[in-house]
A and B are shown apart, each in its own frame.
Chain A
Amino acid sequence: MRAMLAGFAAIVLIGVAAHFGMQEIGFSSQDRSAGSAVRLE
């Protein structure tokens, strides 16, 4: 069962790391295709 729990924990860790990493590189179409002039934040 420890391998299963470790797998689930890894999903959370990888997910959180991906979330911040992706934000950092500006992956979204909002970041890629639009400027601040056309977005209301």
Chain B
Amino acid sequence: MLRVILAFVVILGLAPVSLAQEAGAPPVEIDRSATGGAQTLEDILARQRGERVDTEFRRQFGDPDSAAGIAGQLGTLGGASDPDLWRALRYGEADVTVSSGGDVAKVLVQDGGMAWYQFRQGPLLTYGGYLLLGMIGLLALFFLARGRIRVDAPATGRLVVRFNAVERFAHWLLAGSFILLGVTGLVVLMGRKFIAPYMGKDFNSLLLTWSKVIHNNVAWAFMLALVMVFVFWVVHNFPSRHDLKWIAQFGGIVGKKHPPAKKFNAGQKVIFWSVIILGASISASGLSLLFPFEMPMFAKTFAIMNQWGMNEWVGMAPFPERLSPQEEMQFAQAWHAIVAFVLMAIIIAHIYIGTLGMEGAIDAMGSGEVDEAWAHQHHSLWLEEVKAKEAATGKTAPSDATPAE
């Protein structure tokens, strides 16, 4: 669990940075003495070449106190030039007053919009897509190499209840809503690039409209189910010493050994905590997107991260602590999608192992009952607990069963 949390923290630390700051070489040093500190042709050319330029000098604005006299050549501008005004608007430093609309309406030039758009259409879409395809490819290779994990012993015919009806209901509520959210989210992100060119913009528009409706409303079922599975299964998912043995033997997935496990093995615990932590993070950023401008969370998060010095861990400048309402939404969208891609990749692996990859696994969430041979192979300690409980309460397993060995 600790490793999952640490991994999450690192992701939390790294991912927004790529959006907040342009990665790469340090800013180009430019001599601006000839222009008195103002922008030079070299600044413009460097930007056009795609080089990183420190724009801090452009955030220095005119000072009314040092204005030329009213009769002077520049006196009527009150110490600030027109470019000062436009730059102040661009960098969110202008003193804007609006009669309605609040802080959102005060942003007249949204400087971060293009960077977000390029990130969304570029790295997010590309690497996110590769992540999912890569996971599917890895699983295909694994299936070719390992094949289906069979139950070694013959079926006993004796069944044990693995998940009751309420647990299975919660699982399918979570699974169904997650698949709907994943598909509609991918359509919203990728439709313009992969659907519109082939099936037409009208069809894409229709698809996007319905995807948005489904995404916004199915989200509530996902959040409810997330709470339910957390309550039902958290007690079974704390780390134990058996997990080390399970990990040491690769869970029996590689090789023929089947390490003992309780109700959930170490691999399932990783899935559980991934779903809970990443699902909660997706829910938080999703709520921020669902109620626009009303749940800003990134400026506060960045401030805390800066206080902890997390930016220094990865050698970055401090995270931005002042964000416009629009930038908050852009960070929320980017984070929502990044974390969702990671969780989708994990869940693809979960779906594989629960269906094609392992014989008998689907029964646990289908009928809720598994054969004792399956339970003994994959969750022997849990089976012993069930047996001990049955013996204590005088119950026996349902049986048209062969006698116990």
Contacts and interface: CB of A to CB of B under 8 A. Distances in A.
Contact of A3 (B104, B105, B168, B217): B168
B216 interface: yes
Most chain A beta-carbon neighbours within 10 Å: one of B101, B172, B180, B294: B172
B221 interface: yes
A6 B368 CA distance: 14
Given A2-B165, A3-B165, A22-B216, A11 B291 contact: no
Given A3-B168, A18-B217, A19-B217, A33 B173 contact: no
The main secondary structure of chain A at its interface with chain B is helix
B213 A19 contact: yes
A14 to B, nearest CB: 4
Interface residues of B, number: 35
A3 B172 contact: yes
A33 B101 contact: yes
Nearest to A4: B172
Q: How many interface residues does chain A have, given as a range?
A: 20 to 34
Contacts of A4: 168, 172, 365-366
Contact of B292 (A11, A22, A32): A32
Contact of B221 (A15, A29, A33): A15
Contact of B176 (A8, A22, A27): A8
Contacts of A7: 168-173, 175-176, 225
B20 interface: no
A16 B173 CA distance: 15
A36 B367 CA distance: 53
Contact of A33 (B168, B169, B214, B292): B292
Nearest to A5: B172
Contacts of B101: 33
Interface of B: 100-101, 104-105, 165-166, 168-173, 175-177, 180, 213-214, 216-221, 224-225, 290-294, 365-368
Given A10-B221, A32-B292, 8 more contacts: A3-B172, A6-B172, A7-B170, A7-B175, A11-B180, A14-B220, A14-B221, A18-B217
